[in-house]
Amino acid sequence: MKSLSGGEVKFFYSFFIHIMKNNSYQQALDYLYSFIDYSLTRNLRYSADKFNLDRMYKLLNLLEDPHLKYPVVHVGGTKGKGSTCAFINSILIRSNYEVGFYSSPHMQEFTERIRINNHEISHADVAKYVEILKPLVAQIPELTTFEITTALCFLYFASKKIDIAVVEVGLGGRLDATNVVQPILSVITSISKDHTNILGKTMEKIAVEKSGIIKRNTPIIVAEQRTEKIKNLLCEIAQQHNAMFQYVPDYFIAKSIEKNLEYQRFVVKKSEKKDLHQSISDYEIQIPLLGSHQVQNALTAYCVINNLKRLGYQIRDADILEGFQKTKWPGRFEVLNKSPSFIIDVAHNVHSVVYLINTLRMYLPGKKLIFLFGASEDKDIKGMLKVIGRSAKMIILSQSNHPRAAHAQDLLKIIPHNHIKFNCITSIEEAMQYALNQWNDDTAIVATGSIFIVAAVRQLWFDSFRKIFARD
C-alpha cells in the first residue's frame, strides 16, 4: 500500500478536524433545540409559568452574571427594532467600540444571532459555550431554547470583553429572556398588533407588555407611535419608573431629499417642540434601507446615539454618517434584482404589510405586482392578504418548512376571491420558478409574509436562480 505524503497527511488531518468541528457545532444546536422552543410551538400560551424570568436569573447567577459586565442598549417594540439595532450597531462599530449585537430570529444561520463587530460567533465557540452551560442548565428545570441561547450570548460577550451590547428583545418585553439586563438606555420602536394571542388583543395591552423593558431611572427613547393614546400610555409608565421619557418626533424630524432602489437620503433637523440644550447641526444622512418607516427607525437610532454621546461615548459626526450609510440588514425591502424587479421583505403583520405596499408604490410606481406569500399560522393572515389583494396582479401561496407555517392549502380559504389571480404551490422553489416565469420589465415579484419565507427565497435566489434570471 502506498504511504501518504506529508502534504496528503496534512490535508486529511485538516479535513478530519473540519468535520469534527462541524459535528460539534451540530451537536450543540441539537442540544439547544432539545429544550422547549416556543418560537416553534403552535398555539403558544403566554403566561407566568411558561415565560418566567426566575429561570434566567438563576442561570445567569450560576454564570456570575455576565449580562452585568458591560453596558447595554435594550431595544423592544413591534416593528423596526431589528433595523434600529442595526443602525446603532453600525455607528458604534465605526466609533471604534467593540460592539456585541444580539438579535432574533436568525434568517439563515443560527450564528447570525450573536455578533461582535458584525462578526458572527464561530461554530467552535457555539460548541464551546454550550459545553460550559450544560452542567448549569441541568440544575434548572424547564429552561427554554431562547433562554439558554440568551445566556450563551451574554457569557460570550463578557468573555470577549466587549465595550457595549445592543440587545434586541425577542418577544414582548416584560417577560422576555433579555429583560434581565440593566441597560443604560431602553428603546421602544413602533408598536402595532402582532402576536395578539400571546401579548393581547388590543394595542394598549401590547404596549403594556412592550413597556416592561422600561427600567427605573433609565432613559427610555420611544419612536413615533401610530396613536397619541399609545404615546401617552408609554409616557405614563415611564413616569411611574422615574425614567426620562424621550419621544423621538419631539426631538428630531426628517426631510426627504432623494430616494432610489439603492439608498435614500434625508436631512435630520431639530424639532421645535423641545429645547435640546445643545447645538446640533442639521445632518444629511444616507441609508441603504428603503421606505419611510426606515427613516423613522434611523431617527430613533440617531436619538439613541445622541444620548450615548451625552453619557460620554466618543462618537464623531463622520462615524454617524458612515455608520448609517454602511448599515446592513438583509430582508428589509431588499432588492435582489432591479430590472426586472425582485423584492423580499419580512413584513409579517398588517401594519408592516401596509408599509410594504406604500414603499412599493413609492419606488415602483406602475409595476404589476406578483406576490409570493407565506405566513406563520398565528398571524393575522386574512388582514395581510386583504391589504396585499388591493395591489396584487397575482398572489402565489406557499409555505416555509417552519413548524408554525400556515399550510398553503389553508391559505386558499382566506384569500380574497375577487379579480386577483392566485395559485397555490407548496414548494417555495417551485413557487419561485412559477413567479419568475411570469417576470418581465412591467412586473415586480415581491416575496413576503414571514422571515422564514424570505430566508428561503433569499437563499434559493443566491444559490440557484440568480445566475439564470438576474438581468440588472
User: Which of 175, 172, 130 lies closest to 34, judged by CA?
Assistant: 130
Q: What is the CATH number of domain 334-469?
A: 3.90.190.20
Burial classification of residue 285, based on how many CB atoms lie within 10 Å of its CB (0-12 exposed, 13-18 middle, 19 or more buried):
buried
CB atoms within 10 A of CB 190: 23
The DSSP element (H or E) to which 157 belongs, if any, is helix 145-159
pLDDT at position 12 is 43
CB atoms within 10 A of CB 232: 12
pLDDT at position 457 is 96
d(CA 33, CA 145): 6
**Alpha carbon 300 to chain centroid, angstroms:** 15
Burial classification of residue 4, based on how many CB atoms lie within 10 Å of its CB (0-12 exposed, 13-18 middle, 19 or more buried):
exposed
pLDDT at position 339 is 85
How is residue 411 written as a grid cell? 391559505
Residue type, 64: E
Backbone angles phi, psi at 343, to 5 degrees: -120, 140
How is residue 342 written as a grid cell? 425582485
User: Which of 228, 220, 244, 226 lies closest to 190, judged by CA?
Assistant: 226
| One fold for 39-325 and 334-469 | no
Residue 340: asked if its preceding bond is cis (omega within 30°), the reply is yes
Question: Please, what sign has the CA dihedral across residues 352, 253, 98, 219?
Answer: negative
d(CA 28, CA 222): 37
Beta carbons of 215 and 238 less than 8 angstroms apart: no
d(CA 301, CA 87): 6
User: Which of 186, 163, 187 lies closest to 315, judged by CA?
Assistant: 163
Q: Where are the domains of the chain?
A: 39-325, 334-469
Running along the chain, 472 residues long, what does each successive block of 10 average in pLDDT?
A: 53 47 88 80 51 92 98 95 97 98 94 98 98 98 96 98 97 92 97 61 87 97 94 96 96 94 94 60 90 96 96 96 97 93 94 94 94 91 92 94 87 74 93 92 95 95 87 63
pLDDT at position 404 is 82
pLDDT at position 19 is 47
Beta carbons of 221 and 248 less than 8 angstroms apart: yes
Q: Name residue, grid cell 450563551.
A: 152
d(CA 217, CA 17): 50
User: Which of 132, 116, 104 lies closest to 70, judged by CA?
Assistant: 116
Burial classification of residue 16, based on how many CB atoms lie within 10 Å of its CB (0-12 exposed, 13-18 middle, 19 or more buried):
exposed
Homologous superfamily (CATH) for 39-325: Mur-like, catalytic domain (3.40.1190.10)
CB atoms within 10 A of CB 105: 16
Residue type, 192: S
3-state SS of 344-381 is ECCCCCHHHHHHHHHHHHHHCCCCEEEEEECCECCCCH
d(CA 468, CA 436): 10
Q: Under 8 Å CB-to-CB from 340, ≥6 apart: which residues?
A: 439, 440, 441, 443, 444, 445, 471
pLDDT at position 413 is 81
